[in-house]
Amino acid sequence: MAYVESLLHKCTSFLHLQQLHAHLLITGLFHFYPSRSKFLDFCATSFSAGSLPYAAAVFGFIPLPRTNDWNAIIRGHAQSSHPINAVTCYLNMLRASCKADALTCSFFLKACARALARIESFQMHAHVLKSGFDADVLLQTTLLDSYAKCGDLDHARKLFDEMSRRDIATWNALISGLAQGNCPYEALKLFNRMREGDDDGQGIMIPNEVTVLGALAACSQLGAVKEGDKVYDYIRKSYLDDNVIICNAVIDMYAKCGLVDKAYCVFESMRSSLSIITWNSMIMGFAMDGNGEKALQLFTQMVGGRVGPMPDDVTYLAALCACNHAGLVDEGVRLFELMEKNGVTKNVKHYGSVVDLLGRAGRLDEAYNIIVSMPTYPDIVLWQTLLGASKTYGNVEMAEKASRKLVEMGSSTCGDFVLLSNVYAAHERWNDVGRVREAMKTRDVKKVPGFSYTEMNGIIFKFFNGDKSHPNWREIYGKLEEISFKIREFGYEPETNYVLHDIGHEEKENALFYHSEKLALAFGLISTDDKSPININKNLRICGDCHVVIKLVSKLYDREVIVRDRTRFHRFNEGFCSCRDYW
């Protein structure tokens, strides 16, 4: 056995594996069960091209494969680019009446996690219980991870609560699953619960690198600055800040929370160990903040080869986004044209960014020509981008062109219908609006509701348009009335063209003034009496009227307001926005 293992570790190519297989057959060692399963496992999980198909072919000639033989093939498929094949192998194993062990279940569940096979995970859970493997913490954790990655967070939480013992990997699996599964607030609560000591007597669990990465991802989603500061404090106190991956995540977190200066401080502290991901994260952070000049300055340092690695396709995408958000149209077009000259191949995201750049600047014909002249077939997002720009500039003809293409491509996204409807509504073509909305009903397309959330004292509060679910909603609405009175005295007039319904002017004003970001803003004003910034996150783009109102509030109330919408940050201060009214 040791002899075979020694030979396996000397194999550095697929040819070596074939030669070893021939040697094992000639010497008769291949028919020795432990040696055979060891060879199959190494061959199936080797990164040499062709080794997995070869292992499967060798496996096919075994008259009566045993459990470890099956495990080797299932494990190989689970790690491959087609993990669903591991599920098929497992079913064949059951048909062959070969008994699965805990390792079989573990490899199968890893395949389910990668293939997003939720039902199969649930079925394996039943088998684990029936077989008495539920005392195995590692297997239970693998099952939990599979549920979480398949999006079944209810079962993942239930399994976590039912486990009599948990290790660090168990906590990490659920925290990461919640953070990536649109439950970031719950991920942070679990992270804090882990640090404070579990409530069922299992004691304090010390977070490791994987734990803090999950917590940072949750903070990034929520824009939870104070919680992010706490996580970063823990990272430094635990000496985890020498890990480049963690520092990259901290930069990303601060950038997504609108604190690009803090992100840059972390970037500067890493000068001796900056990776390409570090540079890309920092450039994208400046881009999202609207600081295109600083983003391009870093990009130029890389291109010049003075510092850092050479830019890759992600770097160019970040630089194009910087031009996009800062309105640097000519610079962006120049970068786009220089890409292939500098050995970087354009992909659909680069095309999408330059189409968005031209579309925002009103250069719709140029954007259209770039789409139709692409060497590859344009995707749905490109036409959606052009449709959005057509809506911004009220270009009905271009909007209809983009919309027809989207219909041809089978798109049924609510935003496509809503944008075309909005273009018609802005021109008061109510019959066309009705036609589009009738098509939405026919296809059962529902509009995504707008919502915003803000963090106060470590608690996340979420608001929908016209929301009255908050316990202090009367006070919030009272503050909005006060805001309305003050800004009207300052010359504000509601921009009712953003209410795209055929209703009366007064109803439009009411619908407009209770947008979710305005509710979050009013809540922020009544909840704090200091001069700290009010941070608001929104799932859609901020509307023009809300943008005007928040600019005025920042001046009249002397408060900095940071809004992260779907595409970028807006930093409002003293009546101005960092986007310079270009978004």
Helix (H/G/I), strand (E/B), else coil: 469: coil
Beta carbons within 10 angstroms of residue 431's beta carbon = 7
Structure tokens of 491? Answer: 């010359």
- Global pTM exceeds 0.95: no
Residue owning tokens 């963090």: 455
Strand partners, 506: none
Banded model confidence at residue 511, pLDDT cuts 50, 70, 90: low
Query: DSSP E strands: which ranges in 329-431?
Result: none
User: What is the pLDDT at residue 447?
Assistant: 66
Q: Measured between alpha carbons, how far is 321 from 315 in angstroms, rounded to an integer?
A: 10
Higher-scoring residue by pLDDT: 493, 547: 547
DSSP string, 526-552: HH--SSPPEEEEESSPPPHHHHHHHHH
Q: Which of 68-77, 108-117, 382-391 has the lowest mean pLDDT?
A: 382-391
Query: At residue 25, does pLDDT exceed 70?
Result: yes
User: What is the pLDDT at residue 253?
Assistant: 94
Mean pLDDT for the stretch of residues 352-364? 92
Q: What are phi and psi of 363, to 5 degrees?
A: -90, 65
Q: State what percent of residues in the chain have pLDDT above 90.
A: 45
User: What is the pLDDT at residue 503?
Assistant: 39
State how far the alpha carbon of 533 is from the alpha carbons of 308, 351, 455, in Å. 34, 36, 11
User: What is the pLDDT at residue 261?
Assistant: 93
Q: Give the model confidence (pLDDT) of 35-81 as tens digits.
A: 778 878 888 887 666 788 888 888 888 888 999 999 999 999 999 98
Question: Under a CB-based contact definition with an 8 Å cutoff, are residues 74 and 107 in contact?
Answer: yes
User: What is the pLDDT at residue 498?
Assistant: 46
Q: Give the model confidence (pLDDT) of 390-433 as tens digits.
A: 888 888 888 888 888 877 777 766 666 667 777 777 767 777 77
Q: Measured between alpha carbons, how far is 119 from 125 in angstroms, rounded to an integer?
A: 10
- Among 396, 444, 397, residue whose Cα is nearest residue 422: 396
Share the mean pLDDT of the chain. Answer: 85
Q: Which stretches of 163-259 are DSSP H helices?
A: 168-180, 184-196, 209-222, 225-237, 244-256
Domain boundaries, the chain: 452-577
Q: Measured between alpha carbons, how far is 532 from 560 in angstroms, rounded to an integer?
A: 7
Q: Give the model confidence (pLDDT) of 289-339 as tens digits.
A: 888 899 999 999 888 766 678 899 999 999 999 998 888 999 999 999 989
Banded model confidence at residue 504, pLDDT cuts 50, 70, 90: very low
Q: Give the model confidence (pLDDT) of 235-253 as tens digits.
A: 999 999 889 999 999 999 9
Mean pLDDT for the stretch of residues 175-185? 91
Query: At residue 1, does pLDDT exceed 60?
Result: no
User: What is the pLDDT at residue 502?
Assistant: 41
Q: Give the model confidence (pLDDT) of 220-239 as tens digits.
A: 988 888 899 999 999 999 99
First vs last C-alpha separation in the chain:
66
Q: Give the model confidence (pLDDT) of 457-481 as tens digits.
A: 778 899 998 888 888 899 999 999 9
**CA atoms 378, 381, 384, 390: torsion sign:** negative
Q: State what percent of residues in the chain have pLDDT above 70.
A: 87
DSSP one-letter code for 101: -
